[in-house]
Amino acid sequence: MDRALRWVAARGLTVAGVCYLLITLLICFDIVARRLLGFSTEATTELTGYLMAVGMSWGLAGTLHERGHVRIDVLVQRTPLAARAWLHLAALLALLVATGFFVYGAVSLALDSLALGATDLSTLRTPLALPQGVWAAGFALLLLAVVGLVAQTLARIARGRPDEVDRALAARSDAEEAAETLEATGQAAAGREPRAP
């Protein structure tokens, strides 16, 4: 189950990357079209807004698995390992509650838009339930990732393995970031695909 969730979360990072690439291309096209061709698509703002929201929500679960979210853990790092495992669990439970609210709000919004047949006020008249539904699905993926991590953390604590909890959930250190960058650089130089985390 964990492997499947991590695979989907990694694909979510790909979706996020494609969304941001499309945002760049749309903005560049609109600038060139206005400057050189004398017209504007009049849809760039709308489309880039949708892509930004979808990219953000679909990137959350993969970023969580890669321990890429910003954490202020100055006090956590100074606590004993056993206590640190419980603090990691408390942080995950807080994230679980917050993500539950995100999912509820996003799904409710998409369902309301669907029921009302709401469309954007732009020239495209996009049915709002479509981008809102895709956006909500990204939050749902994050919720599944958090539930999976909570279950793993509880199992590791029950087995008396706080070191595994800390390795899985602690913020990435500078040394880890540098090692990953060097490894990716070396693989790129050798013409290989970077290894999945």
Q: What is the mean pLDDT of residues 144-155?
A: 94
Give the Cα separation of 165 and 40 in Å (integer).
52
Give the number of other Cβ atoms within 10 Å of residue 179's Cβ.
12
- The band of 179, judged by pLDDT with boundaries at 50, 70 and 90, is confident
Q: What is the pTM of this model?
A: 0.82
83 vs 105, higher pLDDT: 105
Please report which confidence band the pLDDT of residue 73 belongs to, taking 50, 70 and 90 as the band edges.
confident
Q: What residue spans define the domains of the chain?
A: 2-169
Residue-level pLDDT at 192? 60
Q: Read off the pLDDT of residues 30-54 as tens digits, 9 standing for 90 and up.
A: 988 888 888 777 788 889 999 999 9
Confidence band, pLDDT 50/70/90 cuts, at residue 195: low
More confident call, 174 vs 146: 146
3-state secondary structure 93-104: HHHHHHHHHHHH
Q: Name the β-bridge partners of 127.
A: 119
| Contact assessment for residue 168 and residue 157, using Cβ atoms and an 8 Å cutoff | no
Instruction: State how far the Cα of 112 lies from the Cα of 104, in Å rounded to an integer.
Output: 12
Distances (CA, A) of 49 to 5, 111, 165, 167, 174: 27, 19, 37, 36, 33
AA letter at 158: A
| Structure tokens belonging to residue 27 | 């903005």
Identify the pLDDT of residue 24.
Answer: 95
Q: Which residues, listed in sequence order, are joined to residue 119 by a DSSP beta bridge?
A: 127
